[in-house]
Amino acid sequence: MAEALTILSEEEQMLYDSVFEFAEETIKPRRMEMDENQKMDPELIKSFFENDYMGIEIPDEYGGLGADFFSSILVIEALSRVDASCGVMVDVQNTLVINALKNWGSDYIKETYFPQLAGSKIGAYCLSEPSSGSDAFAMKTTAKDMGDHFVLNGSKLWITNGKEAEIFIIFANVAPEKGYKGITAFIAEAGFEGFQKGRKEDKLGIRASSTLELSFDNLKIPRENVLGEIGKGYKVSIETLNEGRIGIGAQMVGVARGALDAAIAYAKERVQFGKPIASFQAVQHEIAKLECEWEAARLLVYNAARLKDAGRPFIKEAAIAKYVTSEAANRIATRALELFGGYGFSKEYPAEKYFRDAKIGQIYEGTSFMQLNTIAKMVLAD
C-alpha cells in the first residue's frame, strides 16, 4: 500500500508542534492577564527572539533563521491557536516588515536592519491614516526631498506593534500632484528627531497587541533609508500586503482551531440530562461542520503560502485565503462560544476571548469587502 500523503512534511510538523508546545506552556498562563492589562509581557517578547520567531526568513548570515515563508505561516498559526495577540506580533514582524526589506531593501538596509530585527528589535508597518484606510493611497503624509535626506510630515493610524516597535516602514508621498505615483517607502527609527508615538487604541480584541497612532513633525530620514525606488512605494505596499494577507489567514486558522479545541473539550466534560453534551447528535453535527470548515480554511492558507514560496502567482489565492479564513474564524468562534452556553459569555472560559480576537480578521490588512473586490476582479479578468 502506498504511503499516505500528508499536509505537512515531518520537519514542518515538528516546527508547528514545537511552537504550539511553547505557546501552551509559556503564553497560555499569561494570556488573560495580558488581555486585561492590554500589554504584551516583555519576557514573552524576549523569548520570541530567543526562539528565532522574529527573524524567520532573515538569512542566517544576518542572525535570522533562514527559513521559508511557509515556516512563518506555521509559527503564526501555532501561536495564534493560543493567543492571537502574540500571533500578530510575530506576523507583522515577518510577513510585512521583514518581507518588505527582503524584497525591496538595498544591501545597506539589509546589513543595517536585518541583524536588529533578528536579534532584539520589533518592526512596524505604517500605511493607514485617519483619512485613508481601504483607500490607502489617499494618504496625506508627505515627504520633501532635501537632497541627502527627506523630511516627513503627517500621521499614521492603527499601527500594530507601535508601542514596542523601534523600526518602522513608513509610506509618504514625495509628489502629491502625481497621486499614487509619488508614494515612497521609508525606514525610520523611533529615536529619529520628529518621530512621535501617540495614544494607544483601546480595542475589542487582540488587546495585548499594541495599536498606536504615530505623528511626524519634520521627521528627518536619511536618503539611504528609502526602501525600494522613489515613487514606487505603492508597489512595495501592494506586494507586501499580498504576502501579509496569508499571514492573517494563518492567524485566523489558529484562532479558529483554538476556539474549536476549547469547545470540544468543554462538550466532553459538560454534563446535562445525565450525560456529556458531546453525546447529543445536534452537538456532534455542529462540531463536525466546524471541523470541516476549519480544515478547508487551513488548506487555502497553506496553498497560498506554497504558491508564494514556489515563486508562482498567488494574489487571488491570498485574497481567497484571507477572506475565507476570517469569515470562518468568526463563525467557528461564535458557535464555539454558544456551545459553552452561559459560560461562553464569561471570562472564566476562553471562548469569549477567541470570539473577540476573531473579529479583527475581517478588518485589518484589507477588509473582507476589499478581498471580494480583488477576487472578483481577477476572476472576471480571466
168, β-bridge pairs: 124, 188
What residue ranges define each of the domains in the chain, with the CATH number in brackets? 10-121 (1.10.540.10), 124-231 (2.40.110.10), 235-381 (1.20.140.10)
Q: pLDDT tens digits for 358-367?
A: 999 999 999 9
DSSP string covering 174-198 = S-GGGGGGGEEEEEEETTSTTEEEE
pLDDT over threshold 60, residue 5: no
Q: Is 314 helix (H, G, I), strand (E, B) or coil?
A: coil
Side chain identity at residue 186, one-letter code: F
**How does DSSP classify residue 148?**
S
- Please state which of the ranges 6-10, 65-69, 228-232, 353-357 shows the lowest mean pLDDT: 6-10
What Å distances lie between residue 68 and 74, 172, 206, 309, CA to CA? 10, 30, 26, 7
CA angle, 304 then 309 then 310, to 5°: 95
Secondary element (H or E) of residue 276: strand 275-276
Percent of the chain topping pLDDT 90: 96
170, β-bridge pairs: 126, 186
Question: Helices then strands (H, E): number in the chain?
Answer: 12, 10
Quick one: pLDDT at residue 131?
Answer: 87
**For helices 84-91 and 42-50, what crossing angle results, to 10°?**
50
Contact 95, 161 (CB under 8 A): no
Cell of 161: 506593534
CA–CA gap between residue 302 and residue 317 (Å, rounded): 10
Q: pLDDT tens digits for 153-171?
A: 999 999 999 999 999 999 9
Contact 58, 64 (CB under 8 A): yes
CA–CA gap between residue 150 and residue 91 (Å, rounded): 29
Contact 122, 164 (CB under 8 A): yes
Quick one: pLDDT at residue 133?
Answer: 83
Q: pLDDT tens digits for 273-308?
A: 999 999 999 999 999 999 999 999 999 999 999 999
CA–CA gap between residue 318 and residue 325 (Å, rounded): 11
Q: What does the mean pLDDT of the chain come to?
A: 96
CB count in 10 Å sphere of residue 355: 25
Q: pLDDT tens digits for 302-327?
A: 999 999 999 999 999 999 999 999 99
To which residue does cell 526589506 refer? 101
Mean pLDDT of 232-247: 96
CB count in 10 Å sphere of residue 381: 7
Cell of 204: 475589542
pLDDT over threshold 60, residue 20: yes
Show which residues are catalytic.
365
Contacts with 274 (C-beta within 8 Å, 6 or more apart), sequence order: none
pLDDT over threshold 60, residue 74: yes
Q: pLDDT tens digits for 169-217?
A: 999 999 999 999 999 999 999 999 999 999 999 999 999 999 999 999 9
Cell of 272: 446535562
pLDDT over threshold 70, residue 115: yes
129, β-bridge pairs: 132
What Å distances lie between residue 123 and 88, 186, 281, CA to CA? 12, 13, 48
Contacts with 85 (C-beta within 8 Å, 6 or more apart), sequence order: 31, 34, 35, 40, 206, 207, 208, 209, 357
CA–CA gap between residue 77 and residue 72 (Å, rounded): 9
Quick one: pLDDT at residue 1?
Answer: 39
CA–CA gap between residue 172 and residue 218 (Å, rounded): 13
215, β-bridge pairs: 155, 196
Contacts with 370 (C-beta within 8 Å, 6 or more apart), sequence order: 134
To which residue does cell 477576487 refer? 375
